[in-house]
Every structure is written in C-alpha cells, then in structure tokens.
Structure 1
Amino acid sequence: MERLVIVGAGLAAAKAVERLRDEDYEGSITVVGAEPHAPYERPPLSKDLLLGKDTDPEVLDPGWWADHDVRLLTGDRATSLDRNGRRVTLESGERLPYDLLILAAGAQPRVPDVPGADTALYLRTREDSAELLRALESGGRLVIIGAGWIGLEVAAAARHHGVEVMVLEQADLPLANVVGVELAEHLVGLHRSHGVDLRTGVAVEEVLVRSGRPTGVRTSQGTIDADHVLVAVGAVPDVVLAEDAGLEVDGGIVVDERFQTADERVMAIGDVANAWNTTLHDRLRVEHWDNAIRQGRAAADVLLGLDTTHDWLPYFFTDQFELSMEYVGRAGPDDRLEIHGDLTANRFIAYWFDGQNLLTAAMNVGIWDVSDTLREMVGRRVDPAELAAVG
C-alpha cells in the first residue's frame, strides 16, 4: 500500500486529504502538524474570532479523520527529513516512512531585528488570536507595528472593542505596492475616520520592555507608550526541513506547475510553496486562504493522475470597518487604475490595466457575486461596455 505523509496540518493539507478520500484514494495517509489542533482556517483569527464571535474555524468535522482512515498527529513537529531513506522524524522521536511526501508546513510571523520584538504579540495561531482578544478586551492602548492586511484588520477589530489603537508603518503609504496610491490613501482615510492613529514613514527601533512585557516602542520620531504591542510585518515560509534535506529553496520551496520538487517523491503546497504559475508565467508564493484550498485540491488531483496545473489567479479578501472587498489577479506597479462606482460609499470596482490594455487585476468593494466574473475577465482586453455591465 502506498504511504503518503503530509507535513503540516493546515488548510492546504486538509483539502488535499479530503479530495483524496472523496476520490477513493486507497493509500495510507498520515498528516502531522506542530500545532495542537486539527486543521483550521486562519482568516477568522483576525476577523470573526477577534471580534469575539462564536466561530469554529476547523476545516473538517472532528470525526472525519477516523471515519476516512486518516492518521492525524497534532502537537508533534517534524524535525528532519531523510530523502534517501524516505523517512520523516518527529519531535516525539517517531519516524514516519513514506512513499510520497507533501510539505505543507505553512509560514511563521516575521520577527523584526529590533530589541524587544520577541516580547510582542503576534497573530498566526488560534492561541495568538485568543491572547490578542484578551488584550483587546482588557482595554488600554494597542500599538501595531506594520500596516499590512493583518495589521489593518486587527486595528479595525481593536476599534470595535473601543481600544485606543496606533498603527506604525515604515512606508509612506500602507499597501501601495498592492493596490496603488489612490486606494492606499483611501484605506488610510478609512482608518483615521474611525479613530485609528495611523502614522506612516515611521521606523520602529525598539520595543520597550519592563518585567518581560512590552510597555511601548521607540521610533525614529520618538517614544510611544503602549499597554499592548502587536507586530504584523509579514510572514516567512517554514522551509527549514526542506533546506536541511537539500531541496531547492528560493523565497519558499521551489516547485513546478504540478507542485513537484526536484525529488519526484516530494511535493510542496500552500504558504510554503514557491510554485510556477502557467497563466502568469512566473513563480508565486501566496499566503492566502483561497490558494491553500486550491493547491491542496490540485496536489491531490496530481496524485490521482489527473491533468492539473497551477494556473489560477491569486485571490484574497479583507474586512475592515465598512469596507469589505475581494481582489483577483496581480497588478503591476505601473498598471493603470480605473475605479467604477462610488469610492466614498465603499461601493466600487477597481480595475488595473497594463501597457497593452490587458486587465491584470480587479477588486470589488461592497459589490458581491461578481468575483467569478472578474476572474474570467482578468488577462484579456475588456470592452468598456463589459466593465459597465459588471456593477
């Protein structure tokens, strides 16, 4: 019997094994994860769970694993990979032999190289979200270092709890490299209108600590007191196992359009995979929910012998105050932006076009059930009448 081992018990792994068992894959399957939980979805960590809503983020019912003959090992990190002997060794000492291996260990929060950063709050796990929620419910001032998607979502949740919140961003505008200057300025205005003290062009030089707890931050513009400090400056893929085993790593584990490493017995999916995309003709490492679902299912299809490739466009979504949006595609820094609708009312669709007038990305804000239509439009020239018909 073929033995499949998946290192990493996240969303991508769950969707891979779900697909395999749905399609009657008969091999043995073992999923091993460092966290003490069955696979769960991460978007609720900075959204519903942080707002105090009663949400269960687990991907599959608790009984699914036994019912489908999948061995799930949680709270046991994989520490070494022997590719010649085809074995994965766990922190507990157990050795898992494999015929096929999928690396899906995800990513870890980036810890900036400044004194005291290791004492701050981070947001990656269910425990992190619960700890942050307790901090928000206790009140006081929250200082957030980083104005990316996580930082801004947490800022919105903090204001929901009535917390005084300051966001410090080193760049001149947050997320301008993703959505452009006009929409980045719109996000800044949105947060400031809700009482977020969002400061740009600020370099954090130290997280101030007393008795092991952060008490503020020292910045290029002075010292700021805080009751809580959250660092949200991105994530780094968990590639140590792959690197130590001699697999190619370049901003993630390098895989082809079928998620295959140079070792025919080893694949990589999810946040950790730097995969070739056949539509964009480029490598992508994507840390979003939609990508984990799609790569998990696609990797399963590859194992099942189906003709599947990494050909879909990146997708992500966010909820911040009254702004809820979905984005599909990948806009370049010099692409032309067109906004159709009411920017002030947060009900519009943004379109990005390259120099050949090809639609490279689209973002719907407050207009729903159009994401699939926009996905179909991205990558080609679009008639103005077609744009007007979307909404």
Structure 2
Amino acid sequence: MTKENKKYNYLIVGGGMAADQAVAGIRSIDKGGTIGIISADIDEPYARPALSKKLWVDPDFHDEDIDFHTAQKYNAEITLATRVIKIIPEKHIVKTDKGEEYAYDKLLLATGSEAKALKGESSERVVALRSKQDYLKIRKFSGKGKHVIVVGNGYIGSEIAVGLIQSDTKVSLVITGDRIFDKKFPIFLSEKYEQKYLAAGIKIYHNSKASGYELVGDGVKVQLNDGTVLQGAGLVLGIGAFTDYSLASAAGLEVDEHGVVVDEQLKTTATDIWAAGDIISYPDQILSRQSAGHVRHAINSGLFVGKQMAGETGIYDYTPVFYSWVFDINWEAFGNVNSGLKMYAEKLGDEQYIVYYFDKNILAGVLSWSSDVNLGHLKGILKKQPTVEELNKVVKLEAVE
C-alpha cells in the first residue's frame, strides 16, 4: 500500500496537546485500531505551557522533558511538517500539501491556533512564541545579561518576560494597558502583579504598541507608537493567536463566530468527523456556546473526543479553567473575567482572594488568586448564577474596581 493511499481507522489532523490526549483516549478503549497523526509542527506533541513557564525557572527541567512520545507510547504513526489542505468528507479522504492522500474511518480536527506576528523581515531573532522551535530560538539570543524585548500583555508575554528575567536576561516589556492584565484584574490585584515585575528589574512600557521592527547588526530595533525606540538582542511577541477554520469550512462543515460547530459529543456536522481544542464552538454546560483557547480545555476535550471516537458515549461537561503563575503568584479563573464588569472581592487570608465578576447583576466569572479553594466548588457557585445580593448572604463581599 503506497503512502498516498494510506488508510487509518482514526486519523488526527493536528499535533498538539489535544491530539496527544485524543490518542490516549482512543487507546483506552481500542487497543488495536490504526491511528495516524498529521502535524504541521516539526516536533511530536509536547507540553506547550512549559515553553513560557517551567523551562525557564526550573534548572533541572530540560526541553526534552516536555516530549510526550505520543507515537511510540500509543503505537500511532505520525507525519510531521505536513499540512492538510483539503478534506473530502464524502470520500473519507484528506489531502496534504505534499500531494499525498490519506483515507480514514474516523477523523479528528485538532489544529489549534497560530501565534500572531508583526510585519517585518523574517529572522531567528524575532519570535512569535508558539512552538518548541520558537522556544529554542529564544534561548539562543537570551541569557548572559543580554537585553530582550517582549511585546504583549497576555499569557505568553507576561510569562515569558518573567522566565527571561529569571534566566539572566534584561527585559523590556511593552504592554497596551495601564498595568499588566488590567483588562482582567481589579486595580489592586493588577498593581500587586505588576509590582513583582518591577521589583525583579523588568522595565515596563505602558499604553504602548510596537509599530514595527528592523534588524540591526546582531540585534533588533523596535519602534513603539509614541516614537520610543528599543534595541535588544531579540524580540519576543506574545500579541495573541488566531484560529484558521477555513479547512473545515471549505469541507462543508458548519462554522460560526466561535469556530467549528460541534455538539455535546464534539461531533461536527459531517459524518465521522469530530473536532477538539482551540478550534471548536461547543455548548459549554455552564457558559453556553463558546470557544476556549486554554490548555486544560485542549487536554480535556482531546481525551474526551478520543473516547467518543472509539465508541464511548457521553457529554462534554468540562468548563475550561485558564490560569497562570509568575514569581510567587498563581491564579485560576473561568467564565467572563473582565475588569469592565462589576467586581466584588472575598478576602480569604494574607494575599489570598476570590474575585466575583457580575454582568447585569448575575455572576458571570470567578478569579481565584493564590487561594486553595476547590475549583469545583467555585464552578458550582458560577453554575447557580447568583445575584450580588444572593452571594453576599453566603460570603462577605467587598466592591472593588
């Protein structure tokens, strides 16, 4: 059988954490079915969060430690550095950019997201952090007291800035807001957060955007929108991600404003095709239909959908938690965590808080700040959708801005 006519019982498009867990889910039920993975990455599945977190702060943790060894562990075949460019659902076939065709009995779409970048000359010194190879590029131009410019006020930008400053690197952090995460946290918490950065020596440029960059010598020069020019050994971008639904849309699958539409079993509108992770528009059991670009959602939806593909029946009932930890602060949140909403804080102890976010007087989101409160308990509160008055009867709330 030629590679162009290769057929699998289960074919997975995408090579991230959702794909790894999907294979684990399949193998927990079907020990012998053939599994194929087609990934645009040049590395097999790995723990992506470590790229901006643990790899920078744990000297005993190395880049090879993040590898899952998915193909070997679960007896699957993986094709790397390859993109699927067309799906033909009625024939149960996909076509790749290498001119190959793969047939399947059941197909999973788990293509994830791609990092946004700035326009400019391509260089190893300018990295929109997303992949393991991106991490290795940053390692080359950081450390030894070098200066690295980080642009972005989200998870990647805020985390990699901390990782770099703790890895013998001078850091300039460019953010669009008044404070780090000012669009999520109340003022008193975003101020606490930012103070940790300043105390560590990170130089922060507020209310700024990178309008462009140019390569100079063995470094990078970055222009900010207010005319400020920064120069460093490298530039790391954490300015968000985008998800491409065109592959599914072109195949006739339903797509809405959230992504590829799936049901409670994560089935798409095409026969024998499922989807998981960042790309899906799914009916959350608490928050209604939405998308979720968070690693725990990728893991849970991947494991769930793998079992579904292998014959198990169930309902995807995981409400995603998004989280981060920097220095000695860790936080977890779910729902609509937006500082533009009405916010009330519950103080639990020294530097420990729960913040409740209300939309039209109905609880819409919860933030757990360095607390050990069970997230299942907090999700239970969110599911009940109490008003401020109702919740205040149970916990002591203080209005915050």
Give the TM interval when normalised to the shorter protein. 0.7 to 0.9
Corresponding residue to 1:93 among 94, 99, 108:
99
1:320 aligns with 2:329: no
Overall identity of the aligned pairs, in %? 22
Query: What corresponds to 1:349 in structure 2?
Result: 354
Question: How many Å separate the matches in 2 of 1:2 and 1:54?
Answer: 35
Asked if the contact 2:319/2:334 (under 8 Å) is kept, the reply is: yes
1:110 aligns with 2:119: no
Matches within 5 A, 1:124-273: 124-210=130-216, 214-249=220-255, 250-273=257-280
Q: 1:133 to 1:121 in 2, by over 3 A?
A: same
**TM-score (norm. length: structure 1):** 0.86
**CA positional deviation for 1:290:** 0.7
1:59 aligns with 2:65: no
Q: CA offsets per residue over residues 224-277 of structure 1, 9 Å max, x none?
A: 222211111011114342244343443532333332222123222112223232
Question: How many Å separate the matches in 2 of 1:293 and 1:230?
Answer: 26
Question: How many Å separate the matches in 1 of 2:71 and 2:86?
Answer: 28
Asked if the contact 1:328/1:371 (under 8 Å) is kept, the reply is: no
Asked if the contact 2:154/2:181 (under 8 Å) is kept, the reply is: yes
Asked if the contact 1:270/1:292 (under 8 Å) is kept, the reply is: yes
1:302 aligns with 2:302: no
Query: What corresponds to 2:3 in structure 1?
Result: none
Question: How many Å separate the matches in 2 of 1:218 and 1:175?
Answer: 20
1:276 aligns with 2:286: no
Asked if the contact 1:208/1:218 (under 8 Å) is kept, the reply is: no
Matches within 5 A, 1:23-38: 23-24=29-30, 27-38=33-44
* Aligned-partner residue type, residue 285 of structure 2: T
Asked if the contact 2:24/2:74 (under 8 Å) is kept, the reply is: no
* Aligned-partner residue type, residue 376 of structure 2: D
Question: What is the CA RMSD across the aligned residues, in angstroms?
Answer: 2.8
SS at match of 2:129: coil
1:375 aligns with 2:384: no
Q: CA offsets per residue over residues 319-339 of structure 1, 9 Å max, x none?
A: 111212222333354232314
Structure 1, 16-25 or 240-249: larger mean CA deviation: 240-249
**CA positional deviation for 1:157:** 1.0
| Unmatched segments (≥5 aa) in structure 1 | none
Question: How many Å separate the matches in 2 of 1:167 and 1:79?
Answer: 37
* Aligned-partner residue type, residue 36 of structure 2: T
Asked if the contact 2:154/2:240 (under 8 Å) is kept, the reply is: yes
Structure 1, 20-29 or 124-133: larger mean CA deviation: 20-29
Q: 1:383 to 1:275 in 2, by over 3 A?
A: closer
Question: How many Å separate the matches in 1 of 2:236 and 2:223?
Answer: 11
Question: How many Å separate the matches in 1 of 2:311 and 2:392?
Answer: 41
Report how many aligned residue pairs link the two structures. Answer: 380
Asked if the contact 2:25/2:305 (under 8 Å) is kept, the reply is: no
